[in-house]
């Protein structure tokens, strides 16, 4: 299978470090629903980050979000497509934000996953507006950051 206007191969995506990260360690190569698979790939990362000191999760999440601007922007340029569906680093960042203010529980993970996917797919205003007007790596990341924050608000309102 070939990816993007620049016709990259699976091997290129899996061997070039920026593309490997952008494609969520390969989860973005899923034939259907790559964003959902990218979000699923975030769950073990979330669990791993939760094992660290209390400052580690927010620091790592901030790093994932900020680095994502460059990672997603570079991958989009390499692919020749602004927001290729296989680029799922933004879903990983969005899910980490979703879970940032709740203690770990599998129930919270499931509800957070569903809430994040809802906001990421439906893109209510202002997420839809940001998705349309902001370009580059920032644009790829920002709509998922907002979806993650909206999903985090749902978890907060549900008292997780």
For the chain, give every domain's residue range.
2-157
In whole angstroms, what is the distance from residue 11 CA to residue 140 CA? 23
Q: In Å, how far are 10, 53, 60 from 87, measured between CA atoms?
A: 13, 29, 20
Question: Rounded distance, CA 113 to CA 132, Å?
Answer: 24
Coil, helix or strand for 56?
helix
Tens digit of pLDDT at every position of the chain (160 positions): 999 999 999 999 999 999 999 999 999 999 999 999 999 999 999 999 999 999 999 999 999 999 999 999 999 999 999 999 999 999 999 999 999 999 999 999 999 999 999 999 999 999 999 999 999 999 999 999 999 999 999 999 999 8
pTM: 0.97
């Amino acid at each position: 299978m070939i990816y993007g206007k620049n016709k990259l191969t699976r091997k290129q995506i899996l061997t070039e470090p920026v593309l490997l990260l952008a494609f969520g360690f390969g989860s973005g190569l899923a034939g259907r629903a790559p964003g959902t698979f990218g979000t699923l790939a975030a769950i073990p990362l979330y669990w791993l980050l939760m094992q660290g000191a209390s400052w580690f999760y927010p620091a790592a999440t901030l790093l994932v979000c900020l680095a994502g601007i460059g990672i997603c922007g570079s991958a989009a340029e390499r692919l020749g497509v602004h927001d290729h569906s296989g680029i799922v680093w933004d879903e990983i960042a969005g899910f980490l934000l979703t879970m940032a203010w709740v203690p770990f529980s599998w129930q919270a993970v499931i509800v957070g996953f569903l809430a994040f996917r809802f906001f990421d797919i439906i893109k209510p205003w202002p997420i839809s507006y940001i998705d349309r007007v902001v370009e580059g790596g920032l644009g790829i990341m920002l709509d998922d950051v907002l979806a993650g924050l909206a999903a985090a608000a749902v978890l907060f309102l549900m008292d997780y």
